[in-house]
Structure 1
Amino acid sequence: MGELVSFEPDEEFDAPGRLTAQTAGTGERSLLEELQDLVLSTTDMQEFLNELAVLSARSVSGHEETVLCGITLLRRRRAATVAYNSETAKSMDELQYAFKEGPCLTAAKEQRTIVVEDFASESRWPEYSEAVSGYGLRSILSAPFTIGAGAHAAMNLYSYRPSSFRSEEVAFAESYARQASKGLQLALRMAHYSEEADNRSRAMESRTHIDVAVGIVMAQNRCSQDEAFAILQRASNARNVKLRVIAAEIAQRVSGALPATHFDG
């Protein structure tokens, strides 16, 4: 999985079902171990994010109630819910993207924690709050992840109870987000490297197909390499199909012993 991520423990918190003064050492170690195991056991970014959403909801809510979790990622001027533990959480996040404003977008962009005590009386995002209230949700806690330049993210925790997130829950969520940020950074970095490798692989494959197709056209038309490439380009333009697709079709016909099309330019 590449370099190991070391999570540094933050301060202790006293909240039911969470880190307490009496169990801080054991609790912190347990949380850190879960995060490290998550990084080491998942094979790609999507799997990591899905598991992170489940772990986030469970860790912050304890065993008191069901908390819905969505993870918002802002990258290349686009917002998306990249992971969630329920379809409702995803829908609530996506409502914000439709309105182009809301607590999780603010938390991610401004890198600060946002708490809505009760959507029924929330005035900062009135349209979004009214829409969310229609689903029976009453409060939200959005804590930002720190993932570096070029991207922003936030953990969004929804509750059906008003004033569900007390100061202890907020403090724990902020600590949790700081610790989980390191794993998220690694997952995004791995996804970037994987995407680059896939792009290089596709480029090499396309180049191979084009080279093979140029050779075939040269043999068929008894022409030079430049002339054969020009013939392929004209065929690409005439059919409004990418050159690599034309080349792949020619290579497939020959390798599959299918009748080869004679390109006469």
Structure 2
Amino acid sequence: MSQPTNHDLAMRMAEMSRNLVPKPSLDTILDEVTAAAVDLIPGVDTAGILLLERGGKFRSIATTSELPHQLDILQVTFQEGPCVQAALADTVVRTDDFRLETRWPQYSPAVVEIGVLSGLSFKLYTAERTAGALNLFGFEPRTWDSNAETVGSILAAHAAAAIIATQTQSQLNAALLSRDRIGQAKGIIMERFKVDSVRAFNMMRQLSQESNVKLTDIAQRVIDSDA
């Protein structure tokens, strides 16, 4: 495969950007990213994303084949490997030949046995948050050059922005829903007990503290009781 030119990369990124209108799903964006990595970076035969979730858990998504998911399982099992290292520590982790790789004594031999001999992993992050890693694998040894790292870093930045924007929107939606529930419940209490807004909110907050139940759950109970 020939080296991608700056024009090739610019055209692919423009295509991916156009997909933002109308706004595609997160899965669609990430599928585009991993497919682009295979298309644009010589030596990459398969790709996937290891998503970092709450509680230190990982999840495989946007894989171009079943293989990246199998490799992610190995890394989680052994608690070592380039994808985990990129997600949690280093920005870029490269392996030119897993047969010579000594950083992961359990993972590397297992990968070689499967038939993967090289890899590049990129942390998915913004200035404040880490989302996971973009992971690229080759079936042959490969001396990854600066062009491969540059293209991979651009694609990783695109994926990270999409993931974190989606997570932020979900959190915002949850916050707005909570606010609406509390407001609705407060209105019910005001009407039922003939109290003002401040007193109604304090009543819910006191119930929340005494019962060790989230304020939004108390609010939902009030709403349900009025149904």
TM-score category (smaller protein): 0.7 to 0.9
CA distance in 1, matches of 2:86, 2:204: 54
Deviation at 1:52, TM superposition (A): 0.8
Q: How does 1:1-265 map to 2 (within 5 A)?
A: 16-19=1-4, 24=5, 28-42=6-20, 43=23, 44-61=25-42, 67-73=45-51, 78=56, 80=58, 81-108=60-87, 109-119=89-99, 122-134=101-113, 136-145=114-123, 147-152=125-130, 153-159=132-138, 161-163=139-141, 165=142, 167=143, 170-188=145-163, 190-218=165-193, 226=199, 230=203, 233-234=206-207, 241-254=213-226, 256=227
Structure 1: which 5+ residue stretches go unaligned?
1-15, 257-265
Structure 2: which 5+ residue stretches go unaligned?
none
The aligned length equals: 221
Deviation at 1:87, TM superposition (A): 3.2
* Superposed CA offset, 1:17-39 (max 9, x none): 433xxxx4xxx323222123213
Answer whether contact 2:190 2:196 (CA < 8 A) is retained.
no
Identity across aligned pairs (percent)?
20
Which of the two has higher C-alpha Rg? 1
* Superposed CA offset, 1:100-157 (max 9, x none): 32122334522234114144x54321211233345x2331311425743334554322
Deviation at 1:182, TM superposition (A): 4.2
Counterpart AA for 2:126:
G
CA distance in 2, matches of 1:18, 1:205: 53
Counterpart AA for 1:57:
V
Deviation at 1:195, TM superposition (A): 3.3
Counterpart AA for 2:94:
I
> Over aligned residue pairs, what C-alpha RMSD do you find?
3.7
> Given the two structures, how large is their TM-score scaled by the length of structure 2?
0.73
Counterpart AA for 1:131:
A
Answer whether contact 1:68 1:88 (CA < 8 A) is retained.
yes
Taking structure 1 as reference, are residues 216 and 132 closer, same or farther at Cα in structure 2, changes over 3 Å only? farther
Taking structure 1 as reference, are residues 216 and 232 closer, same or farther at Cα in structure 2, changes over 3 Å only? farther
Determine helix, strand or coil for the equivalent of 1:126: coil
